[in-house]
Structure 1
Amino acid sequence: MLARWRWVLHQLTKRLWFRASLFSLLGIATALLAVVFKDYIPESLPARIGADAVDKILGIIASSMLAVTTFSLSTMVSAYGAASSGVTPRATTLVMEDTTTQNALATFIGSFLFSLVGIIALSTGAYGTQGRVLLFTVTIAVVILIVYTLLRWIDHLSKLGRVGETIDRVEQAAIDAINHRVQWPHLGASPYPCESVIPSSALIITSQHTGYVQHIDVQALGAIAKADEIQIFMDVLPGSFVHVGMPLARTVSLSNARGEELASSNEKIITTLAMGVRRTFEHDPRFGLSVLSEIASRALSPAVNDPGTAIDVIGRGVRSLTCWGTPKEPTAKADADCQHVYLRGLTVDDLFDDFFAPIARDGAGLVEVDLRMMKALVSLAQINPAMFRGACTRHAERLLKHANTALVLEEDRQKLSAAARPLLH
């Protein structure tokens, strides 16, 4: 559970320009440090270590880093295009947030600016004889950093934007979101009660925008509920699509608050929701599973015709859902300050519908995909029968209906029915 400012900061640090700007400022500051500390260098030291060569080294770095940065940017754009066309456009954001790529580009840009500022300062005579020694030492360190970054970048380029590597990112994002939701099933709030418990006099808060809910600041909601003495019943979750006029929450006063005070509370409640034009992976486990399912559906399309990728994705879906059925921590967490805030939890049926339903529809005509999916459902039912068996049985029956319509050979239909027996008998 993240506060709003921490979530915004986390989103900011994942932007490409953030690291590039940070490394650029660091490069400029490093180049100017030699001017500040030059008086601490002995006058006889420059002649011994050959500090006069620093201007040539800086010139080489400046010219080469500009070319390397341009090449890296073109490679990165190509990787984004490959991820969008070969996997799914929804996975592009994960490729763009790759830390290795961002660190490499930031290092190249920072090194370029370091050398550029160093050359300018040298031409003005700001360093002096002693300052050249310190600049020479820092330049050697920058060269070592560049070599290390280049070697790591070359290795990373062999995987960037590839189908398997991109699917790995989507799977990990889904697992991270599931683990977070298992730990905080109601994002720190209290479980949503039955509808009959909520008074009919509850004040409804409606949306003023159209888009997806990306984040809910439950801590801020708890503070509002405590300060204004109200109960807040949230009707949306991260990943929910809302439109103008759609109910977002309902509030019930615990005191004799006036209408003006409740209206003020409603305005503050709306500000705790972060809205956007697209869904995000962090707090939305259903989105991660939906993207995995979309990758499998794309692989099963006639244009791609890659059932192997679909089978691979089914296995990844089993791993992801296993995290939901076998939580590492036995007790779910809740925030004591948010006891008057109520949020709905995710259901197993929703998770299974997001992942299995599209694949069952698009892969019904391929017996190898049908069998792999049926085995996946049987496996999940064995992992946690109490939680998963009902959903597994329902999707097994649905898969049989799709397959009986799409499969041509009776032998294939019988084989699939035999695989479904552990769930249907």
Structure 2
Amino acid sequence: MFSKWRWLVVQFLHKMWVRSALFGVIAILIALLAVPLEHIIQNPLPFSISAETIIRILNILASSMLAVTTFSLGVMVSAFGSASSGISPRANLLLRQDATSQNVLATFLGSFIYSLVGIIALNTDIYGETGRLILFITTVIVIVLIVIALLRWIEHLSHLGRMSETSLRVEQATSKALSDWVAHPALGANPLTEVTMPVDAIGIFTDQTGYVQHVDMASLSCLAEQYQAEIMILAPAGKYSHPAAPLAWLSHCREPDCIESIRNAFSIADKRSFDQDPRFGLSVMAEIASRALSPAVNDPGTAIDIISRGGRVLLALGKQDQADLTILYPRLSMSTLATQDLFEDLFLPIARDGAAVCQVGIRLLKTLALLAENHPAQLTQSAQYLAARVLDYSQSAMISAQDFAQLKRLVEELNL
């Protein structure tokens, strides 16, 4: 549960160019480090390196790193395009935030900048004998780092943008968001089962239209304490906000500064985010499965894999009785996630698009039974409802009566 500014910093650091720029600045500093060190080291070193030797090495580095960086960018763009067209455009966000790709690309670009700065410095004679030797040592270290980066890049390319790798990233992001919700229901606010407007409350509206990506709970709590107010949050992460829909209801306060600060605690953009929005992650997983089940792709195996992954994610819902029920923000209230909504986000699109495929129906029913068996008190009702929807879709879509009869028998055997 990050504050808004910490969340914005994390989002900024995930941008691909930031890490490359940082490595570039570090490369310039390393290349020029020999100049002050030369004045610190008074005694001459046991041997010296000519400027021509280092320039030849740096020329090789500069030309090769420029080519490798260009090639790596081409590979990444190709992987992003493949993931968008074959998996899900929404999953591209996670691919762009891939730390290994960013580190490798930043290493290549930083090495190229290091080589250029070193060549310019050598040709302007700012290094003495000691400085050239220090530059040579740092060049050897840079070469070792490049070799390590190349080996990591070769391994990483074998699965970058592949279906299994992208599905795993979506599963991990969704699982983290859902686990945070389960560990702290309503993200530390007072959980609401029913939303009713308080008598003396006023609505907090925004001029922006888009999805709520993040809600700064700590900031809202501080405002509520400062003004002795109560805030009922109506727009959690994932909610589509527009000028006619209130973000929150504010009670016991009419201060303009408080109202504006509450409005600023909601981060709104044109796209949803995985961070506080597990329903978005489940919807992306369902989208991957639905695309695999389309007639153009016809890949029920991927849909079955997504169902299994979704089952693992939703098992976290059974840990609600182990949740920390301590109210971190007593003056805030928010609706909790409805189990049935989560089940519908994931399973309903797959049941609809895979209704004619018996194997998909079987995997859906077995996964629903698995969830109900592991956590009967929390998940049985939702599992039974979804099992009925699976049968409803399959009855109208299946060509074979025997396949439908098999699904009905399975429902009875699994007590759904």
2:283 to 290, 308, 317: 290
Over 3 Å counting, the alpha-carbon distance change for 1:396 and 1:59 in structure 2 is same
Deviation of 1:47 (Å)? 2.9
How far off is 1:51 after superposition? 7.2
| CA deviation profile, 1:243-276 (whole Å, cap 9, x unmatched) | 12211111110xxx5x4x2x33211100000000
Which residue in 2 is equivalent to 1:332? 324
The one-letter amino acid of 1:277's match is: D
Q: Deviations over 1:271-305 (max 9, x none)?
A: 00000000011111001111000000000000100
Map of 1:177 onto structure 2: 177
Change (3 A) 1:193 1:367: closer
Q: Tell me, yes or no, if structure 1 residue 109 matches structure 2 residue 100.
A: no
Indicate if the aligned counterparts of 2:182 and 2:319 stay in contact, CA closer than 8 A.
Answer: no
CA distance in structure 2 between the aligned counterparts of 1:251 and 1:326, rounded to whole angstroms = 32
Q: Deviations over 1:313-355 (max 9, x none)?
A: 110010110122236x92326564x210111110101100100
Report if the CA contact (8 A) 1:41-1:131 is conserved: no
Q: Which runs of 5+ in 1 are unaligned?
A: none
- SS of residue paired to 1:47: coil
Q: Deviations over 1:45-71 (max 9, x none)?
A: 263567762221111111111110000
SS at match of 1:91: helix
1:331 counterpart letter in structure 2: A
Specify every segment of 5 or more residues in structure 2 that has no aligned partner in the other structure, as ranges.
Answer: none
What is the rounded CA distance, in whole Å, between the counterparts of 2:50 and 2:56 in structure 1? Answer: 12
Say which of 368, 375, 383 aligns to 2:374. 383
Among the aligned pairs, what percent are the same residue?
45
CA gap of 1:68–1:120, structure 2 versus 1, over 3 A, is: same
Q: Which amino acid aligns with 1:231?
A: E
For 1:118-165, what per-residue CA distance to the aligned partner results, in whole angstroms no more than 9, with x for missing partners? 111111111111100111111110000000001100111111111111
User: Quick check: 1:221–1:272 contact (8 Å CA) kept in 2?
Assistant: yes
**Residue aligning to 2:353:** 362
- Aligned partner letter, 1:267: E
Asked whether the 8 Å contact 2:211–2:268 carries over to 1, the reply is yes
Give the Cα–Cα distance (whole angstroms) in 2 for the partners of residues 73 and 248 of structure 1.
Answer: 40
- 2:390 alignment partner in structure 1: 399
Can you list the C-alpha shifts for 1:186-233, whole angstroms capped at 9, x where unaligned? 11222236445x532211112211100000000000011011111000
2:56 aligned residue: 56
Distance 1:333 1:99 in 2: 34
Write out aligned runs for 1:15-414 (5 A). 15-41=15-41, 44-45=44-45, 47=47, 53-192=53-192, 194-195=194-195, 198-253=197-252, 259=254, 261=255, 263-326=256-319, 330-332=322-324, 334=326, 336=328, 338-414=329-405
- Alignment check: 8 A CA contact 1:378 1:422 kept: no
- Give the TM-score, by structure 1 length: 0.94
For 2:198 and 2:364, locate their aligned partners in 1 and report how far apart those are by CA, in whole Å: 44
* Partners of 1:241 and 1:293 in 2: CA distance: 19
Separation of aligned partners in 1, 2:92 and 2:258: 38
Give the aligned residue type for 1:351. Answer: L
Determine if contact 1:46/1:133 at 8 Å carries over to the other structure.
Answer: no
CA contact (8 A) 1:365 1:403 kept: yes
Q: Deviations over 1:59-117 (max 9, x none)?
A: 11111111100000000100000110110100011111100000011001111111111
In structure 1, the partner of 2:11 is 11
Shift of 1:32: 0.7
How many residue pairs match? The answer is: 416
Q: Report if the CA contact (8 A) 1:46-1:129 is conserved.
A: no
Matches of 1:414 and 1:331 in 2, distance apart?
Answer: 41
Q: Secondary structure at the match of 1:208?
A: coil
In structure 2, the CA distance between the partners of 1:235 and 1:110, relative to structure 1 (3 Å rule), is same
User: What secondary structure is seen at the aligned counterpart in 2 of 1:37?
Assistant: helix
SS at match of 1:247: coil
The CA distance in 2 between the partners of 1:388 and 1:82, in whole Å, is 36
Range moving further from structure 2, 175-184 or 18-27:
175-184
RMSD, aligned α-carbons? 1.7
Aligned-residue offset at 1:408: 1.7
Residue 416 of structure 1 aligns with an amino acid whose one-letter code is: L
Asked whether the equivalents of residues 121 and 127 of structure 2 are also in contact (C-alpha less than 8 Å), the reply is yes
User: Contact 1:325–1:388 (CA<8 Å) still a contact in 2?
Assistant: yes
- Equivalent position SS for 1:186: helix
The letter for the 2-side match of 1:95 is L
CA distance in 1, matches of 2:371, 2:43: 73
